[in-house]
């Protein structure tokens, strides 16, 4: 693993051809290359009273986002909500398992494109319409992959990123743009954390969601995936 991790660390990040536009970001794109720190909680036996969640901080330790799982008994671990530090929900994720694959939809409370119809609601609020924003399609094979794209029409998704689990043992993930430029890397950090290194102009929440899916056999809604991947 050590040699593989060293080679992984040497992989340079390339800048995307253009920053991801605001309307295609879950929150906003990064303005410079940066390493974010993600800390899971609520997964150990001593934390069973807590709701599983992931806390995303920037390189200075500032808390930016939280991904919190919905109650397992109500959703089967197939729904979570990503919120900003003020508690505003940015996206609700919903997962559906296939044979050797999985699809995760990331939904928002406002339409992604003109004329879009609501596709769902939060599990605990049937009065709030949700609209498909992005879609992740994961394939479990020799190298697990996860395609991430943004809806431009009801059945049309624009490719944005492709994630690859390049080392199952090392839990090493790369994320690239459609032209093959590697714009992000994810790997276990120290203690309970893992590191998310991204180039400028990248949606870090999308990158964390992709890694989550790759670590959990496709389930991008499983807030516990990164903990279960051996990070904790």
Give the whole-angstrom CA distance, residue 11 versus residue 24.
26
Task: With cut-offs at 50, 70 and 90, classify the pLDDT of residue 35.
Answer: very high
How far apart CA 104 and CA 86 sit, in angstroms, is 25
Backbone phi, then psi, for 17, in 5-degree steps?
Answer: -60, -25
**Residue 43 and residue 215: Cα distance in Å, rounded?**
15
Sorting pLDDT into bands at 50, 70 and 90, what band is 207?
A: very high
Beta-bridge mates of residue 109: none
Q: Per-residue pLDDT tens for 75-109? A: 877 899 999 999 999 999 999 988 788 999 999 99
pLDDT category at 136 given cuts 50, 70, 90 is very high
* Radius of gyration, CA atoms only, the chain: 16
Mean pLDDT of the chain: 88
What the block records as the tokens of 45 is: 């036996």
CATH code assigned to 2-231: 2.40.160.200
Can you tell me the distance from the alpha carbon of 160 to that of 178, in angstroms, rounded to the nearest whole number? Answer: 7
């Amino acid at each position: 693993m050590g040699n593989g991790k060293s080679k992984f660390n040497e992989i340079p990040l390339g800048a995307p051809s253009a920053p991801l536009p605001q309307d295609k970001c879950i929150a906003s794109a990064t303005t410079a290359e940066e390493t974010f720190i993600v800390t899971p909680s609520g997964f150990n036996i001593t934390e069973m009273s807590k709701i599983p969640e992931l806390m995303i901080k920037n390189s200075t330790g500032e808390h930016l986002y939280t991904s919190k799982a919905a109650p397992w008994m109500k959703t089967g671990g197939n729904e979570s909500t990503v919120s900003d530090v003020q508690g505003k929900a940015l996206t609700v994720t919903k997962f559906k398992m296939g044979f050797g694959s999985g699809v995760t939809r990331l939904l928002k409370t406002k339409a992604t494109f003109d004329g879009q119809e609501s596709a769902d609601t939060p599990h605990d609020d049937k009065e709030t319409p949700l609209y498909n924003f992005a879609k992740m399609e994961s394939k479990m094979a020799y190298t697990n992959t996860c395609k991430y794209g943004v809806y431009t029409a009801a059945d049309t998704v624009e490719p944005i990123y492709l994630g690859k689990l390049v080392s199952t043992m090392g839990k090493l993930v790369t994320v690239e743009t459609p032209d093959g430029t590697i714009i992000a890397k994810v790997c276990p950090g120290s203690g309970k954390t893992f590191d998310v290194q991204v180039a400028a102009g990248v949606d870090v929440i999308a990158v964390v969601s992709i890694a989550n899916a790759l670590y959990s056999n496709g389930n991008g809604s499983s807030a516990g995936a990164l903990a279960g991947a051996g990070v904790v």
